[in-house]
Amino acid sequence: MFAKILIANRGEIACRVIRTARRMGIRTVAVYSEADANARHVRLADEAVCIGPAAARESYLVADRLLDAACRSGAQAVHPGYGFLSENDRFADACAAAGIVFIGPPATAIRAMGSKSAAKTLMAAAGVPLTPGYHGDDQQPAFLQRQADAIGYPVLIKAAAGGGGKGMRLVEKSEDFAAGLASCQREAISSFGSDQVLIEKYLRRSRHIEIQIFADMLGNCVHLFERDCSVQRRHQKVLEEAPAPGMTPARRAAMGQAAVEAAKAVGYVGAGTVEFIASASFAEDGSFYFMEMNTRLQVEHPVTEMITGQDLVEWQLRVASGEPLPLRQDQLDIRGHALEARIYAENPDQEFLPSTGRLLHLARPAESLNVRVDTGIEQGDEITPYYDPMIAKLIVWDVDRPAALARMRQALADYRIVGVNTNIDFLSRLVACPAFANADLDTGLIERSRDFLFPARSEPPSSVFFVAAVAGLLREHEAALARASHSGDPWSPWSLHDGWRLNIQPRRTLTYRSGDALHEVIIAYEADGWRLTLGSESVLARGRFLDSGQFAGQLAIELDDRRLVASVIAVTEKQEQKRHVFLNGTNYVILRDDPLHLVEAGGAHGGGLTAPMPGKVIVLLAAAGQQVDKGAPLLILEAMKMEHTITAPTNGRVKAFRYAAGDQVADGAELVDFEVTQ
């Protein structure tokens, strides 16, 4: 077994590998960019080496720097994690040439499966059914257009060297193909260094089923059952689970055997995943089609670990050191049900636009045998535009799917983040969505459940404002007691914050803002609490802060005969006094409207023609002086490996562009000088 390994990755997966290595007595070497100097994976590793500037192409994607770090540190092997160079055959070859073990498949297997086109050709020869499509080398746009027209719309354009949902475009009709192809190729070049694509028929009601396989150097190969990854947005997975609902033993055996044969066909070694697309009713009709093979450990591998009781990173380390597989196929079985939710810094209400910023407050659900959190982020860390904005993976297990769903609902309610937008509330709705709860799964679930998942904005319930008011009053009381304790007369009644006034009924008003609406909570001080009035509703309120323990700002509140437990986190961002009220599993964000704290009104400039986040201008789609209609595309901004089209907010004229193609822009930068016309 290795004495020391280098982890050629960052964030959550680096921390995950470190955890297993430490349990096995293996020392770890982390690598980090200048942006990650204080990252959690750097703090957890036994050693750490800086490999370059923040941009991945200048650090985590530079093979020579990674190998130099491995050689200088004396690491015997390199674990590539996922993403970056994990499926790069030249990196695997370079490791071998340097006498360092690559903890993954041989370069020949990566090459065989690294191109989606080549992999499909190989699978066709092996008799594995393929989705109708074009997988050839002719990449002329006109030829690809004809192929798509012949296949029939809708079609999916996919980067041949892609993965992780990058470099994929759904095209609904022929006239949209050219624009979809150009966009897909731009993203493919940016993410994978190749603009070669393939085209496949898009199945509207399909499920994404993947089989976890493992092979050793002795010719043994097993599968560790399936994962259902059908719940996706922008072709990226959102929720994964194992086993797949509705999977019959016969279908599981057939798909597992097909995956094992695919691995054996390329002389595979290590962890891999064979991905299939299946009809939504695959349990009845049994149809499934090969999509691709991922020659690495998958992001969603924890759900497989939870239902099998196996540590797949330990398997990787043992296989890479020459040991046989720990178990035979007949020794593997499924226990219970597991779900994984990916916690992202993004705004689901704005087309899942990534969010950047510092995590001012972070509370995770308590981990146990039923709840696991894999993360590379801690409170105070920053989500930067340089890397994927995933904060954590939340994994739950229980004896069956209904029990696991209940676990997930509670765990999501206990996850509390302030400082960036997150998808936690969206995930809570997704888990409660009737289609998901009833296992009516397909890759279009999010779109067909939009009414449930993206409800119209409504005002927070009155209890949110009452909770915020009580939290504010309690904090004022605590501050008064602290000041009194440091004064010359700590018992002076003048130091108390109890609202006492001579001969008058003490009253005050706290004003909160939600959207454009103002909410005034009138407070009357009474002997046994506060009388709170909001509009026509009036309650007697009492409260106390609980021992912070797991959740900071947590308090118990009584509103008449109703008892609530909530957390209120107060932060000031961009001159706004925000109150994050975590109540009944939802994060309500309201503003404290203090007349003594003048807040300059914000808003979109130029009709929203500002950069939504730091990024790079890819292409200008209009000319200076051009008249454009409302909704016309003006430019494309690439941020966090995603393209964002900036459109005209109304009819008008493009007076000038503030930046040229290729320029880097800051968050909130004015992009276009735009003149509104009638």
Q: Which residues are catalytic?
A: 296
CA distance 303 to 164: 18
Whose tokens are 């609406």? That residue is 517
Q: E-strand spans in 320-461?
A: 337-344, 346-347, 353-354, 357-358, 361-363, 371-375, 382-383, 390-398, 416-418
Q: Which amino acid is at 369?
A: L
CA distance 373 to 15: 11
CA distance 626 to 613: 26
Task: Give bridge partners of residue 27 from the DSSP assignment.
Answer: 4
Preceding amide of 612 cis, omega within 30: no
3-state secondary structure of 141: helix
Neighbours of 145 (CB within 10 A): 16
| HSE-CB for 404 with a 13 A CA cutoff | 28
Please give the DSSP secondary-structure letter assigned to residue 130: B
CA distance 417 to 571: 12
Phi and psi at residue 301, to the nearest 5°? -60, -25
Instruction: For residue 429, give Cα distances in angstroms to 432, 433, 434, 437.
Output: 5, 6, 10, 10
CA distance 609 to 648: 8
Q: Which amino acid is at 210?
A: E
DSSP per-residue letters across 502-524: SSS--EEEEEEEETTEEEEEEEE
CA distance 509 to 533: 9
Contact by Cβ (8 Å): 307, 336: yes
DSSP per-residue letters across 55-111: SGGGTTT-HHHHHHHHHHHT-SEEE--SSTTTT-HHHHHHHHHTT-EESS--HHHHH
List the end-to-end C-alpha distance of the chain, in Å, as a whole number.
Answer: 73
